[in-house]
Amino acid sequence: MKNPYQTESVKITKIEDEGSRSRLFTFAAPRGFKVKSGQFVEVSLPGFGEAPISLCSDPSEKKKFELCVRKAGMVTGALHKMKVGDKVGVRGPYGRPFPVEIGKKRNLLLVAGGLGLEPLRPAIWEIVKNREQFQKVQIFYGACDENDLLFAKNYDEWKKKIDLHITLDKPKGAKTPVACGVGVVTTLFDHVKLYKRPVAFLCGPPVMYRFVIKKLKELNFDDSDIFLSLERRMHCGVGVCNHCAVGSFFVCQDGPVFSWAELKDIKGAI
Amino acid sequence: MTHSELQQFIAFLMERGWTVFAPEKRPDEVVYTKVEDAAKVRLISEPPLHSFKRFLVPPEETLFEYKKDKMAEVKKMEKQVIFGINPVDLKAIVMLNQIFERDPWYQERMRRTLIIGQSLIPENAEQNLFQVKYEEDILEHLQFDIFLEVQRGKYFVYTGSEEGQKILEDFGYKNYEHIAYAGPIKEEGLDPAMVKYRDALRKNYKKEIWEEDVGARCIECGKCTLICPTCFCFDMKDQPDLVGEGGTRKRTWGACFYNDFSEVAGGHKFLKTTAERIHFWYYHKFVRIPDQIQIMGCVGCGRCAKVCPVNINIFKVLAAL
């Protein structure tokens, strides 16, 4: 029996600042490692423990993968002190990804709040790199301010292929790579005309889900056309420890991506 | 098997290097202790305060030893016998066996564990909530190595595994009957009590139970999670050595009543109130586990009610669902 908790050692090949509070780490991918939008790995730093972190890189890159990490706890704090050439342990990828394939038949609306852009980035790259295979795609992205904008270097390339809208909750008036609106992400629904009958992929904090889902329901989205990624505390990552349980689901295995049809009757899901 | 033969059998196991744990009657409580003298082992109808749980799912266990970035799996387990488990608690073993079916440490520990069950079941609802009876077909739905059916001062011996058979044969006892395990679910179908509680709890959220009654009384001490034979939630954490670059990755019992159980980076908690936490505990046992493996996540031993400092009684909560 293979030990599901055994980690694989991977080398950091690149570290860049991402916004003012996060860092983008590039790792040499183990053989056969596949990135899917919404999936995560357990990052293991012996002495500090493990933390689940979303994959955020281009799925077509087979030799490397990226994790965008904000310093928020023990493991992420230790990771921020590491250097190129250092090794970390990973296990996974785990979880059910966003159903990106739907975008080949239906228009897509990607709504991200704050760090929520990270798990959606593999989907964005997949669409941008295979543009002709997909229907129309819009991105609504809300960040706190200019300093928190993630993946700003990518916007030019994305903009050519995808209808990208960004809004800042508390703008500081600094220069931004693309023109940004002011307000929380839901304000974009008042200014931007949506494509016809899109399927929505959401990733952000629970408060964003409550407001965005309300908007989407006003716009007559089916519950089964809304997909969202849940954040929960995780220890095992393999559906046993129960920290991430939501109703009868385990976010680590049954999620993190769920349809709203699956979650809407579960108290405390968002 | 006579009682003196049983004592000889226990002595035989000890000579063969097995550590034997058996219930012992103390002035206050029946507790599991390590057997030093096989002649003192007896079957006790009253279930021990703490179940077998800590022998199969230790409160703390080392999963890995690490040195810098190298992780090495650790499996240090001794041969152990858990003696005298009644059918109510054996149901908890059936459940744990499924929950940890892919867990390398649990499985390794089980391979080195001999489970000896026995048929004395308490009749009172406080210790046998679902009124489990020692009936004809009960054994084929339980997992054990050896089972002793108590018959007027003697025991009829059943085996439930090859290991059990082999050890009895080595001891020189052949008059046993083998029971083939038929899975946890009876031929008649799903346990009607499981279906009833699962459906009630899934369909209704009764504020008057969770928020006004138990949620208002519970003090989140977590005693019920410690004492429960089926509570298995766990935490994983690293413990660095004080000197050097090594340490261990450990697994410890978790408790869904504790503050950090649902806390994520940044401090947000998904189980914020006592009501949410106690509802989560019940939901796990009576909905999530049934949804996962079609059996109840509670065996009805009543230990949680016995240790609860604010008298939350699982019997009453279930009746109110």
| Structural domain contains residue A16 | yes
| Structural domain contains residue A255 | no
pLDDT value for B68: 85
Q: Is pLDDT at B152 greater than 90 in this prediction?
A: no
- Record: contact B264-A232, CB cut-off 8 A: yes
- The average pLDDT across A14-25 equals 95
B36-56 tens-digit pLDDT:
999 999 999 999 999 999 999
Q: Do A27 and A112 fall within a single domain?
A: no
Contacts of A122 (CB under 8 A, 6+ apart): A35, A36, A37, A38, A55, A56, A57, A58, A59
Residue A227 binned pLDDT confidence (cut-offs 50, 70, 90): very high
d(CA A137, CA B134): 63
Residue A161 contacts residue A128 (beta carbons within 8 Å): yes
Contacts of B276 in chain A (CB under 8 A): 268
> b vs e for B125-144, b when ≥16 Cβ sit within 10 Å of the residue's Cβ?
eebbbbebeeeeebbebbbb
d(CA B162, CA A25): 52
pLDDT value for B266: 87
Mutating which of A3, A6, A148, A266 best tests the B interface, going by the most B Cβ atoms within 10 A?
A3
Rg (alpha carbons) of chain B, rounded to whole number: 21
pLDDT value for A269: 94
| Distance (Å) from the alpha carbon of A115 to chain B's nearest alpha carbon | 12
Last residue of a domain, one of A63, A79, A94: A94
d(CA A73, CA B266): 8
Q: Is pLDDT at A178 greater than 90 in this prediction?
A: no
- Among partner residues B66, B262, B288, which is closest to A46 by beta-carbon distance? B66
- The average pLDDT across B204-226 equals 95
Q: Do A17 and A132 fall within a single domain?
A: no
| Structural domain contains residue A74 | yes
Last residue of a domain, one of A29, A64, A94: A94
- The average pLDDT across B80-101 equals 97
**What is the rounded average pLDDT for all residues in chain B?**
95
Mutating which of B107, B248, B249 best tests the A interface, going by the most A Cβ atoms within 10 A?
B249
Residue A134 binned pLDDT confidence (cut-offs 50, 70, 90): very high
| Structural domain contains residue A257 | no
Q: What share of chain A in percent tops pLDDT 90?
A: 94
pLDDT value for B76: 87
pLDDT value for B26: 93
Q: Do A34 and A112 fall within a single domain?
A: no
pLDDT value for B290: 97
The reply to whether A21 touches chain B by the CB within 8 Å rule is: no
What is the chain A residue with the closest CA to B246? A47
Last residue of a domain, one of A62, A94, A126: A94
Residue B94 binned pLDDT confidence (cut-offs 50, 70, 90): very high
| Structural domain contains residue A263 | no
Count how many domains chain A has: 2
In this structure, what CATH number is given to the domain that contains residue A75?
Answer: 2.40.30.10
Residue B158 binned pLDDT confidence (cut-offs 50, 70, 90): very high
Residue A270 binned pLDDT confidence (cut-offs 50, 70, 90): very high
Q: Do A109 and A196 fall within a single domain?
A: yes
| Structural domain contains residue A3 | no
Q: Is A141 exposed, middle or buried (0-12, 13-18, 19+ CB in 10 A)?
A: buried
| Distance (Å) from the alpha carbon of B240 to chain A's nearest alpha carbon | 5
User: CA triplet A81, B269, A46: central angle to 5 degrees?
Assistant: 30
| Distance (Å) from the alpha carbon of A105 to chain B's nearest alpha carbon | 33
**What is the rounded average pLDDT for all residues in chain A?**
96
Residue A175 binned pLDDT confidence (cut-offs 50, 70, 90): confident
pLDDT value for B52: 97
Q: Do A105 and A216 fall within a single domain?
A: yes
Residue B80 contacts residue B114 (beta carbons within 8 Å): yes
Q: Is omega for the bond preceding B48 within 30 degrees of 0, making it cis? A: no
Mutating which of B63, B101, B103, B236 best tests the A interface, going by the most A Cβ atoms within 10 A?
B236
Contacts of B268 in chain A (CB under 8 A): 205-206
What is the chain B residue with the closest CA to A86? B69
Q: Is pLDDT at A51 greater than 80 in this prediction?
A: yes
Q: Is pLDDT at A1 greater than 80 in this prediction?
A: no
- Record: contact B233-A248, CB cut-off 8 A: no
Q: What share of chain B in percent tops pLDDT 90?
A: 94
Q: Is pLDDT at B219 greater than 90 in this prediction?
A: yes
B124-147 tens-digit pLDDT:
999 999 999 998 789 999 999 999
pLDDT value for A2: 84
CA dihedral over B208, B212, B216, B217, signed as positive or negative:
negative
What is the chain B residue with the closest CA to A250? B288
Q: Do A12 and A124 fall within a single domain?
A: no
What is the chain A residue with the closest CA to B281? A242
Q: Is pLDDT at A180 greater than 90 in this prediction?
A: no
Q: Do A155 and A36 fall within a single domain?
A: no
Residue A34 binned pLDDT confidence (cut-offs 50, 70, 90): very high
In this structure, what CATH number is given to the domain that contains residue A209?
Answer: 3.40.50.80
| Structural domain contains residue A214 | yes
Q: Do A122 and A169 fall within a single domain?
A: yes
Q: Do A55 and A36 fall within a single domain?
A: yes
Contacts of A44 in chain B (CB under 8 A): 71
| Structural domain contains residue A254 | no
Contacts of A51 in chain B (CB under 8 A): 265
- The average pLDDT across B245-268 equals 94
Nearest C-alpha neighbor of A26 from the set A41, A11, A6: A11
Counting one residue from chain A and one from chain B, the pairs whose CB atoms sit within 8 A come to 103
Q: Do A89 and A117 fall within a single domain?
A: no
β-strand pairing of A108-113 with A199-203: parallel
Contacts of A6 in chain B (CB under 8 A): 71, 73
The reply to whether A243 touches chain B by the CB within 8 Å rule is: yes
Contacts of B57 in chain A (CB under 8 A): none
Contacts of B85 (CB under 8 A, 6+ apart): B51, B52, B93, B115, B116, B117, B118, B144
pLDDT value for B69: 82
| Distance (Å) from the alpha carbon of B230 to chain A's nearest alpha carbon | 13
pLDDT value for B248: 97
- Record: contact A233-B270, CB cut-off 8 A: yes
What is the predicted ipTM?
0.94
A53-101 tens-digit pLDDT:
999 999 999 999 999 999 998 999 999 999 999 999 999 999 999 999 9
Residue B81 binned pLDDT confidence (cut-offs 50, 70, 90): very high
Residue that the structure tokens 């001794």 belong to: B78
- The average pLDDT across A199-220 equals 97
Q: What share of chain B in percent tops pLDDT 70?
A: 100
Q: Do A110 and A75 fall within a single domain?
A: no
Retrieve residue B67's tokens.
Answer: 């040195």
Identify the domain containing residue A58 by its residue range.
8-94
Q: Do A152 and A68 fall within a single domain?
A: no
Residue B271 binned pLDDT confidence (cut-offs 50, 70, 90): very high
pLDDT value for A177: 85
- Record: contact B249-A46, CB cut-off 8 A: yes
